[in-house]
Structure 1
Amino acid sequence: MENQPTKEFEDILSQSKQTEAVQEDIILDEPKGALKKFCIKKTEYKGRGIYALETIQRGTSIWQALPFSAVVDDQNISNTCSSCFVNDKRMFKCSKCSLIHYCSKQCQIDDWQNHQEECKAIVKVQRNPPTFIRLASRILRKRKVDVTLSQMETFAQLAMVVKECVGRDELLPAVDMLTLFCRLTSNGFSVLDAEMQSIGVGIYPNVSLLNHSCWPNCIVVFEGLKMNVRSIRKIEIGEEVTISYTDLFLTGEERRKELHERYFFTCRCELCEKYKSVSEVDPRSALRCTNTSCANPVDQPSTFDKDEEYVVSCNCGKVSTFDMAALDDSLEKARSLFKKGSELSASEPENALTYLHQAFLIQQSLLYFANHELVMTHRALFDCDSKLHKWDEALQHAECLERVYNAVFPEYHPDTALQIYRVAKILLYTNQLEKAVTKLRKALKISEVTCGHRHKLTRVIETSLKNSEAEIAIAVLDKVLDRD
């Protein structure tokens, strides 16, 4: 039977609802902007966090916030409005700096207070400051930086660039500059578009109080610049409200490494603790059982000693033996092929497919279907096949990815809705209307919970569903009329 972590987490989630040991110095303030009743508590392991003071049902918008400051990132600066963050309209650039873009004159007027001095600085230094520098510069100009973090590392070079962009008078003292950079590094949120792709970065001070979990009970979605925190499962009174700071597809080791390097903490959430157990196998890093009729994952070796064999038992009773040297060589070869294919995917998708498919064949024979490396190859193959309009091949990879999302993500997650919608679109392209409608209904159910009825993704899926249902109804009516 296929490993399905979402079902296995019921016991763990019930245990996680027991609040951490709380210190006596509980902060009784309510977080600003929250739509439900919460309190801020200081706990032994996580410091400050947000805890529910009432039961919250799944699919509830619990918090909405606008940023203290936000900028479009470098990759999207020419196709996204720097005022409202819309990226589906024709943009025009600022006539003076030629860097910042807007979707309308009104948006340019609305953003002028933020961009006026920034524009002069860009023209003066005659180079385009990167995302991080533009955000830091805008914050400095507001002159309301809250300094509470300690120094962590030297940002002297960045400070010199900021100095060129904002001028000496707007700089903070050196210690406070370091504090600001640390805050940007650890407290910035990626602003996402309707397809959950990052288009910018913003500072949402109050929402930053939400702690991380690799198995969160809330997610963050955006409508333009407005952040919306929504519950994806029922939250009990006294339970901490959490979001994920990282990609849930990553292995536990990769997630913990990223969280430690960027946010300076070691994750001990229920998902991470679950896979520390010798009886549990993380599907994101698992091997495939050598029993071809078995769908269970088996653990990868913690270290690769090429002079030894790796023997591992599966829940199906099969004892699998791997030649360590051959396993290591095969996986390294697949990684090399994947890298070559990825480098060619944008400019030469047809040639990229050759390398990616070779990597896929190696990985498919060795890795569990939800293994992170195999997932990345599926994604790359899907992108290339879609670019080349190879819909049958693209559909196979899209369906495999949907299976992975269902296995390793929470039951309700916007990325799952988006992936199912991708499958539905290909089914529509290939005129498989009834199958497409089934997928669209499933995607809509998830999106309504995770994004809400007004979110662009929900509206797009709903429109596609209505059009498809209408097309099927017309086809049925035509058949009836033909028989008459």
Structure 2
Amino acid sequence: MNCDMFLKGSVLHMEKPFVHALSSNMKHKRCDHCYAEFELFKCTACQYVKYCDRVCQKLAWPDHKKECPALKNLPPNRELPNTARLLARIILKLKRGGGNEQGWYDKNKYRIFRDLMSHYADIKTDDKRTSQAECLYEVLKDYIGEDALPNFTEFLGIYGRMVVNSFNILDGEMSELGTGIYLGASTIDHSCEPNAVATFNGTTITVRAIRDIPDFNWTKVRISYIETLKSHVERNRELYPRYYFDCDCPRCDPSSEACLLENSIACAKCGSAIYADQEDPVCSSCHRKPPFDVFIKYQDVLTFTKHQHDAMKSVAYLDACKLCLEKQNGLFHPDNIYFVRTMDLAFEASIQLQKWEDSIDLGPKLIPGYEKYYGTHHPILGLHYLKLGKILLLKDEYEKAMDALEKGQAILEVSHGKDHPLCKSELSSLLLQAKSILYNL
């Protein structure tokens, strides 16, 4: 694929999975084949998986045929680990000749499963991963039988290809539904400043540009493998154990402004950033050096903030977020990553608690931070506008709701495409509702 410029919104890649597995917590809510949320019926043989119709059941049969009796033999109320089911599907597909299936990613380039990086040497020296692989091998012996399994050395290579190359399959609102292996898409490298994003319609992955890509070639395409609303230290702490590499993108260069801003203090004189990670920090604009006690206070508040964030990994607490924001006020620069994350947690907590006035106050304040760290056309920003628009509609703020929804639409049509159900159904319906009330239609 070669041309001068790919504009944001351009489809760079589209692919169906080599294998996929619906998360077990979704099996009563989603079709096991297409992941649609319809009225479902159980597979009459195993009673474990559900489908939305006979068409999906028939299409799923090649992958389900061999696992069906194994699922049927599971003890009652036992949930098969998601990773074990995905691994079993890979192994069973390879046994029936699926190793020759081609995943195209350019005009004349493709990958087969064995072309995926296994990181075998890395995993052999990684006690945590090796231990997990050994446990999964035992689980799979019980599940599909020892005769169906390759020897452990070969299994470790398959396991490595799965853990390093799998994608979380997401719904339109970026919530996880399952996991899939995409042979072509797995060639796309990581950046903490991605120029593309992967979205899903059912199990089909679509990669779209979220920034213009001049002098396009495939090797320039970058997506983010991890959540990027974190400091460069946290991101690399997450990347290496999962993918066995350190990121060298501009945001991860310790001397770059993008990286320095993550840990920045607001200048009391002019409001510009003071980079706390520099050896002799001064204001980046007026060059004023703050008193030493400012750095002491900053470190105290930063430590407190990190502690609160760690305590909110599963549930965000609005009161704790507000206390952090109160301590950060006037001290943390608006682009400080910990300030933006606190705002993010506070906004989500306000929604969970249905504290709509807080949501309406926090939502607009979060937008500059999202634009800074996600970019102007990232789906996270688009979904933020969508959430804000819904809340404003609920509170009869119709003009503001229209503005938020239209801004969300402009972003989500780039990241997801106009024909994605999120844009075509949910967003269109909300816009119609707002317009009908606003213009008395």
Identify the TM-score tier after normalising by the shorter chain: 0.7 to 0.9
CA distance in 1, matches of 2:292, 2:57: 62
1:254 to 234, 242, 263: 234
1:88-107 mapped onto 2 (5 Å cutoff): 88-91=37-40, 94=43, 99-107=48-56
Query: How many angstroms does 1:66 deviate by?
Result: 0.2
The whole-number CA distance in structure 1 between the counterparts of 2:265 and 2:164 is: 37
Mapped partners of 1:138, 1:302: distance in 2 = 50
Task: For residue 401 of structure 1, report the CA deviation from its aligned partner.
Answer: 2.2
Q: 1:334 aligns with which of 284, 300, 305?
A: 305
Contact map agreement 1:283 1:408 (CA 8 A) in 2? no
Q: 1:424 Cα deviation (Å)?
A: 1.4
Work out the CA distance in 2 between the residues paired with 1:226 and 1:461.
Answer: 21
Bigger shift: residues 191-200 or 144-153: 144-153
The change in CA–CA distance for 1:157 and 1:389 in structure 2 (over 3 A counts) is closer
| Pair 1:358 & 2:336 matched | no
Give, in whole Å, the separation in 1 of the partners of 2:368 and 2:214: 29
Q: 2:338 aligns with which of 373, 392, 417?
A: 373
Q: 1:298 aligns to what?
A: 274
- 2:10 corresponds, among 16, 37, 60, to 60
- How is 1:301-450 mapped onto 2 (pairs within 5 angstroms)? 301=277, 311-323=281-293, 326-340=297-311, 352-450=317-415
Q: Is the 8 A contact 1:215 1:269 kept in 2?
A: yes
TM-score by length of 1: 0.76
Question: Could you tell me which residue of structure 2 aligns to residue 22 of structure 1?
Answer: none
Q: Which residue of 2 aligns with 1:73?
A: 23
Q: 1:236 aligns with which of 210, 214, 221?
A: 214
Instruction: Please tell me whether residue 147 in structure 1 is matched to residue 123 in structure 2.
Output: no
Q: Quick one: distance in 2 between partners of 1:396 and 1:335?
A: 23
Partner amino acid for 1:466?
L
> CA RMSD of the aligned region, Å?
2.8
Unaligned 5+ segments in structure 2 are 100-112, 125-129
In the alignment, the residues of structure 2 paired with residue 449 and residue 107 of structure 1 have an alpha-carbon distance, to the nearest angstrom, of 29
SS in 1 for 2:213: coil
- Give the % identical residues: 27
Could you tell me which amino acid in structure 2 is paired with residue 297 of structure 1?
A: A
Whether the 8 Å contact between 1:61 and 1:228 is mirrored in structure 2 is: yes
8 Å contact from structure 2 (residues 260, 277) kept in 1: no
- Identify the residue that residue 104 of structure 2 maps to in structure 1: none
1:108-119 aligned at under 5 Å gives the runs 108-119=57-68
Quote the Cα distance in structure 1 between the aligned partners of 2:53 and 2:292.
61
Distance in 1 (CA, whole Å) between partners of 2:193 and 2:312 is 32
Distance 1:329 1:94, change over 3 A: farther
Mapped contact 1:357–1:381 kept (Cα < 8 A)? yes
Structure 1's unaligned 5+ residue stretches are 1-36, 38-51, 304-309, 346-351, 476-484
CA contact (8 A) 2:30 2:40 kept: yes
Question: In the aligned structure 2, how far is the partner of 1:211 from the partner of 1:341?
Answer: 30
Q: CA deviation at 1:99?
A: 4.5
**1:189 lines up with 2:160 in the alignment:** no
1:453 aligns with 2:413: no
Q: For the structure 1 residues 117 and 370, does the alpha-carbon distance in structure 2 shift closer, same or farther, using more than 3 Å as the test?
A: farther
Structure 1 contact 283–368 (Cα < 8 Å) conserved: no
Following the alignment from structure 1 to structure 2, what is the Cα–Cα distance between the partners of residues 369 and 77? 42
Do the aligned partners of 2:274 and 2:281 also contact (CA within 8 Å) in 1? Answer: no
Residue 136 of structure 1 deviates from its aligned partner by: 0.4
Matched residue, 1:268: 248
Contact 2:24–2:79 under 8 Å retained in 1 = no
Matched position secondary structure for 1:320: coil
8 Å contact 2:264–2:335 — kept in the other structure?
Answer: no
Q: Which residue of 1 aligns with 2:84?
A: 133
Partner of 2:434: 468
Superposed displacement of residue 260, structure 1: 2.0
Contact 1:341–1:354 (CA under 8 A) maintained in structure 2: no
Q: Distance in 2 between matches of 1:102 and 1:331?
A: 49
Whole-angstrom distance in 2 between the partners of 1:140 and 1:414: 34
CA shift at 1:409, angstroms?
Answer: 2.1
1-side partners of 2:21 and 2:314: how far apart? 28
